[in-house]
Structure 1
Amino acid sequence: MKLGAYTACLHDRPLTEALGVLRDLELDGAEINSGGFLPAPHLPIAAVRSSHDAREEYLGQFAAAGIELTVLNCNGNPLHPDPEVRDKHGQDVLDAIELAALLGVRRVVTMSGLPAADPQGQLPSWTVLPWDSAYLDARDHQWNDVAVPYWRTVQARAADADVIVCVEMHPHNLVYNPATMVRLAEEIHATHVGAEMDPSHLFWQGIDPIAALGALGGLVQNAAAKDTRINEHAKINGVLDDRFGRVRPDEPGAVSLGGRYTLSRWPTSSSWDFVAVGRGHDVAFWSDFLAALGKIDPDMAVNIEHEDQELDRLDGLRFAARVLLTASDRD
């Protein structure tokens, strides 16, 4: 099993320094951003496309650090009703397939995306509990008219390149749990589209990630190591807590999500938080999680994703790496 980290939390450092951080943490894999929500400071896209020599020079930086480039990441919303976002994010996924093939990388991670509820809609709409048939109508449009045609294109491109596109099951996307992942795979007759197992987004939905691995089996092609802590306020507001705040695009520290959209402000006294591996679930869980992944693929790439707002970047990575290495019996 390849234990590594997604380098988005190290975008303030040059690639060679970021790889040195991973090496010093005794990790052996890296996931690099190629587009979508985030920029790609660790991937010289034009150079990678330009020549074999440029690609060899780029990959040589990984070899020198003893780190394997295992995954490209382009999480975004390729189905967004706003064309300014949709066109870029949708193309980024297709470009990531091309870039992965050029670099000899077999995995690309992204999200399924989320369209509007109807053809005239201007904002994404998450339809998750269709107790009223109006929501079934919305869901039919989202899947049949928007998602399936796009993802058939992704499947065809990925098959031609022999690259696996791994869909992160992420709320506020059409694919957010095992059932929706299976639906996508069946709708597009997937051979080169599978699942990324990120347990953090399953925990707060009340899903057992290990049971989900059992249900998905070989559809799982990649994994993230990120934890979630359920807080006491979940007993009051539940996990569907909408007390997020608006962040203006011109505010200091605003994070763009494409176009005019920004990352919202997290609620105080939140119902749940993303935390470093081991701060939501103990080593015993992570040991069982890695073992379940190993039954699917003993060479699975598992990359730490740091989003713990209570720890700085290096402390969070260090904490997560130590727990993950202990859980894998490599400590």
Structure 2
Amino acid sequence: MRLGAYTACLHDRSLDETLKILGELGLTSAEINTGGFIAAPHIPIDDLLASAGAREDYLGRYTQAGITLTGLNCNGNPLHPDPVVGPRHAEDLRRSIELAALLGVKRVVTMSGLPGGEPGATVANWVVNPWDSQWLDVLDHQWGEVAVPFWRDIQARAAAADVKVCIEMHPHNLVFNPPTLLRLIEQTNATHVGAEMDPSHLFWQGMDPVAAIEFLGDRVFHAAAKDTRINEANARRFGVLDDRFSRTPADQNPLNLGGRNTLNQWPSEPAWQFVAVGRGHGDEFWVPFLQALHRIDPDMAVNIEHEDTELDQIEGLRQAAENLIAAARPAAV
């Protein structure tokens, strides 16, 4: 099992400096962003698609640093109904699969995407509690007319490239939990589409990620190491379905997510928040989590995703790496 990091949090560092930092933290795996919601600062995609020599040189930088490139990450919304957003994210995913095959990288991480609620819509529509029949009408449209045809094509491309596409089960996507992942797999007859097991998005939905791994079995292809802390006092007052987000002011350079969409600011008293490995759950979770992944695939990569806003880039990675490596010892992975 390789322990590493998704390098988006080091977007302001060069690739060589980024790999040096990972090595100094005792990590041996890297996952690089190739489009979607954010840019691709650590990989010259066009050059690598065009030149075998460029690919050889690029991979040589990893070898020299003692790091293995274990995944390309293209998280976005390839099903977005806005024509400025969805088609670009979809093309980023297709290019990422093509590039992964050329580089010999066997994993591409992404999200399932989320369409509009009806033909002609321009805004994505997330339905999670379809007690009223109109919401099932929305889901029927989203799955049958949009998601299944798109993902059948992605499955065919991934199978032809011998690349596994690993879906992060993320809220505000059609696939956000194990049952919706299985629905996608079954409706597309997928062999090369499965799960990226990121426990952080399961924790705040009230799930046990280890039970989710056992439920999905060999449909888990790849994993992220990101923790969630449930702030119990706030959760008792606000619940985990919380809309108290606010717009990021323009003078603070909000992160563009495609088209006119930008990243919002979290509530000041969140019911839950993403934290570095070990700051939400200790070895009582991370040891069995790593063991469960190892039983499925002893060679699986587990890459830290640093989104702890209480820690800076390096300190967040350092704490996560120390705690993940420490958990790997008793897990014997």
**1:173-184 to 2 correspondence within 5 Å?**
173-184=173-184
2:105 equivalent in structure 1: 105
1:303 alignment partner, SS class: strand
2:85 equivalent in structure 1: 85
1:233 alignment partner, SS class: helix
1:134 equivalent in structure 2: 134
Distance 1:134 1:240 in 2: 21
Q: Which ranges of 4 or more aligned residues in structure 1 deviate by more than 4 Å?
A: none
List alignment gaps of at least 5 residues for structure 2: none
Distance 2:141 2:223 in 1: 30
Q: Does 1:235 find its partner at 2:214?
A: no
Number of corresponding residues: 330
The Cα offsets for residues 262-320 of structure 1, whole Å up to 9 and x where unpaired, read as 00111110110000000000022101100000011011100000000000010000000
Q: CA RMSD in A?
A: 1.0
Distance 2:43 2:252 in 1: 26
Distance 1:81 1:46 in 2: 26
1:318 equivalent in structure 2: 318
1:165 equivalent in structure 2: 165
The Cα offsets for residues 129-161 of structure 1, whole Å up to 9 and x where unpaired, read as 100000000000000000000001100110111
Distance 2:115 2:248 in 1: 22
1:116 equivalent in structure 2: 116
State the AA in 2 paired with 1:95: R
Q: Is the contact made by 1:284 and 1:327 (CA closer than 8 Å) also made in structure 2?
A: no
Q: Is the contact made by 1:239 and 1:271 (CA closer than 8 Å) also made in structure 2?
A: yes
The Cα offsets for residues 47-93 of structure 1, whole Å up to 9 and x where unpaired, read as 10121111000000000000000000000000001010001001111
State the AA in 2 paired with 1:185: I
2:274 alignment partner, SS class: strand
Tell me by how many angstroms 1:16 deviates.
Answer: 0.2
The Cα offsets for residues 186-245 of structure 1, whole Å up to 9 and x where unpaired, read as 010001111100000000000000000010000000000000000121101100000000
Q: Is the contact made by 1:196 and 1:220 (CA closer than 8 Å) also made in structure 2?
A: yes
Tell me by how many angstroms 1:120 deviates.
Answer: 2.4
List alignment gaps of at least 5 residues for structure 1: none
1:224 alignment partner, SS class: strand
State the AA in 2 paired with 1:284: E
State the AA in 1 paired with 2:21: V
Distance 2:135 2:274 in 1: 30
1:17 equivalent in structure 2: 17
* TM norm structure 1: 0.98
Q: Does 1:51 find its partner at 2:51?
A: yes
2:207 alignment partner, SS class: coil
2:118 alignment partner, SS class: coil
Q: Is the contact made by 1:29 and 1:69 (CA closer than 8 Å) also made in structure 2?
A: yes
**1:258-269 to 2 correspondence within 5 Å?**
258-269=258-269
Distance 2:29 2:189 in 1: 30
Q: Could you tell me the percent identity over the aligned residues?
A: 62
State the AA in 1 paired with 2:129: L
Distance 1:176 1:319 in 2: 27
1:274 equivalent in structure 2: 274
Distance 1:93 1:101 in 2: 13
2:134 alignment partner, SS class: helix
State the AA in 2 paired with 1:192: H
State the AA in 2 paired with 1:80: H
